[in-house]
Amino acid sequence: MRGVAVNLSIGGALVAALVIVGLVSLFWTPHDPAVLAMSDRFHPPSAQYALGTDQLGRDLASLLMAASANTLAVAFLAVGFGGLAGTTMGLVASANGGFTETTIMRIADFGFAFPALLFAVMLATAFGPSLFNAVLAIAFINVPIFARVARGAANQVWAREFVMAARAMGLGGWSITWRHILPNIAPILIVQATIEFAIAILAEAALSYLGLGAQPPMPSWGRMLSEAQTLMFLAPQLAIYPGLCIFLAVLGFGLLGDGLRDVTDPRLSRKRT
C-alpha cells in the first residue's frame, strides 16, 4: 500500500501544480510572454527574469506558464472529445451485442493501426499544419482506446444481478446504460482518461516540436524545444526547461492515473506488491 500512496501523492501534487500554474497564467504572468525585448536577448536568470529570456528577449518563465495552459487545453479537448466518442461507441456495442458489437469493435481495432503522428501527418498535408488538426489527431487515437475500455467494463456490469433486475422491471437498454452502466464504469473511465491525458500531453509536445501542432506565436513547450535546438551551442538552457515541463506534466498524470487505478481496483494493487 505504500507504493499506492507515493504514486497518488506525487502525481496529484504535480498535476495540481500544473493546473494552478496554467490557470494563473490566464490572468497573470511575470511578463507578457508575447512582448519581444531585443535588447534583453539571452538574459541570464535574474530578479527581473526568473529563468532568463529567450532568443527574442521574451521572459522564459512567462512563456512556460502560458504554454502550460495551452497544453492542458489541448489535452482536455482531445481526451474529452475522443473519450466521449469512444465511450459512446463502447456503450452502444455493449448494450446491443451481436452484430453491432462486432462491427463497432472491428472499427475500433482498426483505429489502432494509425498512430497519432501518422494521422497528424495526413491532416497536415491535406489541410496545412494547425493546432486544431493536432487536437483532432490526438482525439482520434483516443476513440478506440475508450471504446475498448468502456465496452469491456460495461459488459461486466451488464452481467450483474441488479442490471437483470432493472431489465425485469421493464427498463430499456438506454435507461439501463444511463442509470446503471455508466455510473458503474465511471471510475474506470476516469482512470483511463488520466493516463490518456499524459499521453496527449506527450503527443501535443511531439507534434508541436515537429511543426504540426501549435503555430507561432502561440507558446508551446514542444515548439520552444524545436526553436531552442538550433541555438543549442549558444543557449543550452533554453532546451532544458520546456522539456522538463513536459516531463513533469506527463509524469504527474501518469503517476496520478496509476495511483487512482490502485485505489479503484484493489485487485490490481494486491497483485502489484
User: Which residues form the interface with another protein (CB under 8 A)?
Assistant: 109-110, 112-115, 117-118, 121-127, 129, 198, 202, 205-206, 209-212, 222, 225, 228-229, 232-233, 236, 239-240, 242-243, 246-247, 250-251, 254-255
Residue 146 or 209: the one with the smaller Cβ distance to another protein is 209
The minimum distance between CB 214 and another protein, in angstroms, equals 15
The kind and range of the H/E element at 238 are none
Nearest distance from residue 125's CB to another protein, in Å? Answer: 4
On the 0-12 / 13-18 / 19+ scale of CB atoms within 10 A, 41 is: middle
Minimum CB distance to another protein, residue 32 (Å): 26
Which CB, 93 or 250, lies closer to another protein? 250
Which one, of 129, 145, 146, lies nearest residue 213 by Cα?
Answer: 129
Which lies closer to another protein via its Cβ, residue 177 or residue 257? Answer: 257
CB 167 → another protein: shortest distance, Å?
Answer: 33
C-beta of 13 vs 122, nearer to another protein:
122
Residues 97 and 93: their CA atoms lie apart, in Å, by: 6
- Residue 217 has a CB neighbour count (10 Å cut-off) of 12
State the DSSP code for 171.
Answer: -
Residues in the chain: 273
Of the pair 60, 157, the CB lying nearest another protein is at: 60
In whole angstroms, what is the distance from residue 175 CA to residue 181 CA?
9
Q: Nearest to residue 203, comparing CAs of 217, 221, 218?
A: 221
Q: With respect to another protein, which residue has the nearer C-beta, 186 or 232? A: 232
Q: How many other CB atoms are there within 10 angstroms of residue 204's CB atom?
A: 30
Q: What are phi and psi for residue 197, nearest 5 degrees?
A: -60, -45
| In the complex, minimum distance from the CB of residue 236 to another protein, in angstroms, rounded to a whole number | 5
- For the CB of residue 150, give the shortest distance to another protein in the complex, in Å: 22
- Alpha-carbon 121 to chain mean position: 19
